[in-house]
């Protein structure tokens, strides 16, 4: 079987980390196409190094742009690639613009689409990712889900249950495979911070960064944290934080550049609590046992709230302070969700080996 796996943005790289070796051992000819949606070394190359991901066979150099420009440019380049290569299937992962572009370009050429991380829903159509998820799932021939409820969401939307495979969460497998590699790891950016003596924060969702009052509320809550806060800032967030009045001189917050995966995993494991709006970080916090506060209106990762690892709060300074206070005093254990284990990539292989049926009409 010959497949092309599409990656483009930071969380995509982490998702393919455990997959590529599993494909190689199973004799599946899987090659990566990198759209170039993320291109800074700290947003792309570092993950290939940290996770020993094979070099992409194609690098499409799409870069930044509005949603339509970015998605459309990626579609044009992927259509050319798929037409020339004619793979048996195209795999897309997650919910970014590169995911949607890969699904649209392949589906229109009659090439079956396999979606890993299918069926998650925030039910918030103002999130670009929700639009990407809905369209990608409708175009997919095989839907690989991370949680049982994702399968229920898909069935409610009319997806044929025979196409749905509950493989589990690939982000969880990545955590489990890499935790032994960070034993004893010292993170340079953490210098001066003690294990269990700091809060780790990430902010990059447009619902927070593109609304000055929400970003100001988050900045204000972080600045008054009882513990120092380490904030590796996404490139879109950094200039906006300064505009939102985040004063790093004399405040609790230390702003740093984005860090690599192994450093990030170490920082998450060793933090007293995490404040984030990231999808992947909510899941990783749940895996490493660090209480998480998610600053969003909703989450498609509600399982992390259900198991007790995560609490969802609006971008309101008081609400964030209170939730962080609770997270810092309570560190009860919780059960990891079903199939958030180290067998996810092998379930993906089994699903592919069972055969990918094209959608009707082909």
Pairing of strands 142-145, 113-116: parallel
Question: Is residue 133 part of the contact set for ligand UDP (CB under 6 A)?
Answer: no
CB neighbours of residue 109 within 10 Å: 15
Question: Is residue 264 part of the contact set for ligand UDP (CB under 6 A)?
Answer: yes
Per-residue x/- marks for ligand UDP, 221-260, CB under 6 A?
-----------x-------------------------xxx
Cβ atoms of 218 and 320 closer than 8 Å: yes
Per-residue x/- marks for ligand UDP, 5-44, CB under 6 A?
-----xx--x------------------------------
From 6-14, 162-170, 176-184, 302-310, give the range in contact with ligand UD1 by CB under 6 A: 6-14
Residues 104-143 that bind ligand UD1 (CB under 6 A): 128-129
From 78-86, 140-148, 150-158, 276-284, give the range in contact with ligand UDP by CB under 6 A: 276-284
Residue by residue, DSSP assigns 157-208 as TT--GGGEEE---HHHHHHHHHTGGGTTPPPGGGTTPPTTS-EEEE---HHH
Q: For 273, which DSSP code?
A: E
165 is known as an active-site residue:
no
Q: Which residue's CB is nearer to ligand UDP, number 141 or number 209?
A: 209
Question: Is residue 96 part of the contact set for ligand UD1 (CB under 6 A)?
Answer: yes
- Residue from 2, 24, 29, 64 touching ligand UD1 (CB under 6 A): that is 64
284 binds, among ligand UD1, ligand UDP, none (CB under 5 to 8 A by kind): ligand UDP
- Residue from 177, 211, 236, 297 touching ligand UD1 (CB under 6 A): that is 236
Question: Is residue 279 part of the contact set for ligand UDP (CB under 6 A)?
Answer: yes
Among the listed residues 161, 171, 338, the one whose alpha carbon sits nearest the alpha carbon of residue 264: 171
- Residue from 36, 119, 151, 280 touching ligand UDP (CB under 6 A): that is 280
Give the phi and the psi of residue 113 in degrees, each rounded to 5.
-105, 135
Q: For 295, which DSSP code?
A: E
- Residue from 284, 287, 293, 294 touching ligand UDP (CB under 6 A): that is 284
Question: Is residue 202 part of the contact set for ligand UDP (CB under 6 A)?
Answer: yes
Give the phi and the psi of residue 310 in degrees, each rounded to 5.
-135, 145
Q: Among positive and negative, which fits the CA dihedral 62, 67, 69, 73?
A: positive
Q: Which residue's CB is nearer to ligand UDP, number 199 or number 352?
A: 199
Nearest-10 crossing angle of helices 97-108, 128-139: 30
Alpha-carbon span 90 to 174, nearest angstrom: 22
Q: Which residue's CB is nearer to ligand UDP, number 204 or number 311?
A: 204
Give the phi and the psi of residue 59 in degrees, each rounded to 5.
-125, 120
Question: Is residue 173 part of the contact set for ligand UDP (CB under 6 A)?
Answer: no
Would you give the end-to-end CA distance of the chain in angstroms? 18
Q: Left, alpha or beta for 123 (phi > 0: left; psi -120 to 50: alpha)?
A: left
Among the listed residues 362, 199, 213, the one whose alpha carbon sits nearest the alpha carbon of residue 272: 199
- Residue from 3, 4, 7, 9 touching ligand UD1 (CB under 6 A): that is 9
List active site positions: 204
Q: Residue numbers of the site for ligand UDP (CB under 6 A)? A: 10-11, 14, 202, 204, 232, 258-261, 264, 278-281, 284
Q: Residue numbers of the site for ligand UD1 (CB under 6 A)? A: 9-11, 37-40, 43, 64, 70, 95-97, 128-129, 204, 234-236
């Amino acid at each position: 079987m010959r497949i092309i796996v599409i990656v483009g943005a930071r969380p995509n790289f982490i998702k393919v980390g455990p997959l590529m070796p599993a494909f190689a051992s199973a004799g599946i000819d899987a090659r990566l196409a990198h759209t170039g949606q993320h291109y800074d070394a700290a947003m792309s190359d570092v993950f290939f190094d940290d996770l020993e991901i094979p070099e992409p066979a194609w690098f499409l150099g799409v870069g930044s742009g509005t949603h339509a420009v970015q998605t459309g440019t990626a579609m044009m380049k992927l259509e050319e690639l798929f037409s020339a290569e004619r793979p048996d299937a195209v795999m897309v992962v997650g919910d970014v613009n590169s995911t949607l572009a890969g699904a649209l370009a392949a589906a229109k050429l009659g090439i079956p689409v396999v979606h890993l991380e299918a069926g998650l829903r925030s039910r918030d159509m103002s999130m670009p990712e929700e639009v990407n998820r809905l369209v990608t799932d409708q175009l997919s021939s095989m839907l690989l889900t991370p949680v049982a409820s994702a399968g229920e969401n898909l069935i409610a939307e009319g997806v044929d249950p025979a196409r749905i495979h509950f493989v589990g969460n690939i982000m969880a497998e990545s955590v489990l495979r890499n935790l032994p590699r960070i034993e004893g790891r010292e993170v340079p950016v953490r210098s001066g911070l003690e294990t269990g003596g700091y809060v780790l924060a990430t902010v990059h969702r447009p619902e927070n960064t593109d609304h000055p009052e929400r970003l100001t509320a988050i900045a204000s809550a972080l600045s008054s944290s009882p513990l120092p806060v380490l904030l590796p800032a996404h490139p879109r967030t950094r200039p906006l934080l300064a505009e939102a009045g985040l004063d790093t001189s004399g405040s609790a917050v230390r702003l740093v550049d984005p860090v690599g995966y192994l450093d990030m995993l170490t920082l998450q494991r060793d933090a007293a609590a995490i404040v984030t709006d990231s999808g992947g970080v909510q899941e990783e916090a749940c895996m490493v046992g660090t209480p998480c506060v998610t600053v969003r209106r909703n989450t498609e990762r509600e399982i992390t709230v259900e198991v007790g690892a995560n609490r969802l709060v609006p971008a309101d300074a008081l609400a964030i302070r209170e939730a962080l206070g609770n997270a810092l005093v309570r560190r009860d254990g919780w059960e990891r969700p079903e199939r958030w284990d180290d067998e996810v990539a092998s379930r993906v292989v089994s699903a592919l080996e069972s055969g990918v049926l094209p959608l009707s009409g082909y």
